[in-house]
Amino acid sequence: MILALGHSARDTFQILHDAGVYMEAKPFSIGFRIEHPQSLIDRARLGPHAGNPLIGAADYRLVHHAKNGRSVYSFCMCPGGTVVAATSEPNRVVTNGMSQYSRNERNANAGIVVGIDPKDYPDSPLAGIDLQRSLESKAFELGGSSYEAPGQLVGDFLAGKASTQFGSVIPSYKPGVHLTDLSTCLPDYAIAAIREALPEFEKTIPGFAMHDAVLTGVETRTSSPLQIKRGLDFQSINIQGLYPAGEGAGYAGGIMSAGIDGIKVAEALALDLIQ
Of the candidates 21, 5, 17, the one whose C-alpha atom is nearest the C-alpha of residue 265 is 5
Q: What is the pLDDT of residue 83?
A: 98
Q: How many CA atoms does the CB half-sphere of 63 hold within 13 Å?
A: 5
Q: Tens digit of pLDDT for each residue in 189-247?
A: 999 999 999 999 999 999 999 999 999 999 999 999 999 999 999 999 999 999 999 99
Instruction: State residue 259 phi and psi, 5-degree precision.
Output: -65, -40
Q: What percentage of the chain's residues is helix, strand, coil (to nearest 5)? A: 30, 25, 45
H-helix segments, the chain: 10-18, 38-46, 127-142, 154-159, 188-204, 255-274
Q: Which residues, in sequence order, are bridge partners of residue 31?
A: 113, 219
Sign of CA dihedral 33, 38, 44, 46: positive
Type of residue numbered 138: K
**Residue of 83, 80, 66 whose CA lies nearest to 108:** 80
pLDDT number for residue 185:
95
Strand partners, 2: 243
Instruction: Provide the 10 A C-beta neighbour count for residue 158.
Output: 16
pLDDT at 255: 87
Q: What is the pLDDT of residues 62-87, one digit of tens each?
A: 999 999 999 999 999 999 999 999 99
CA-closest candidate to residue 228, choices 54, 19, 87: 19
Q: Give me the half-sphere count of Cα atoms (radius 13 Å) on the Cβ side of residue 117.
A: 4
Contact residues for 101 (Cβ-Cβ < 8 A; gap 6+): none
Chain-centroid distance, C-alpha 105: 20
Domain ranges of the chain: 2-24+232-274, 27-219
Over residues 8-23, mean pLDDT? 96
User: In whole numbers, what is the pLDDT of the chain averaged over residues?
Assistant: 96
Q: Is the pLDDT of residue 123 over 90?
A: no
Q: What percent of the chain has pLDDT over 90?
A: 97
Quote the pLDDT of residue 122: 84
pLDDT tens string 147-202: 999 999 999 999 999 999 999 999 999 999 999 999 999 999 999 999 999 999 99
Alpha-carbon span 167 to 21, nearest angstrom: 50
Q: Which of the four pLDDT bands, split at 50, 70 and 90, describes residue 29?
A: very high
- 37 φ, ψ (degrees, to nearest 5): -60, 130
Please, which pLDDT band fits residue 254 given cuts at 50, 70 and 90?
A: confident
Pair type for strands 2-4 and 243-245? parallel
Amino acid at the residue 27: P
Question: Do the Cβ atoms of 25 and 128 come closer than 8 Å?
Answer: yes
What pLDDT, on a 0 to 100 scale, did the predictor assign at position 85? 97
> How many Cβ atoms sit within 10 Å of the Cβ of residue 69?
9
Which band of pLDDT confidence, cut at 50, 70 and 90, is reported for residue 22? very high
d(CA 15, CA 194): 35
User: Above 90 in pLDDT, residue 270?
Assistant: yes
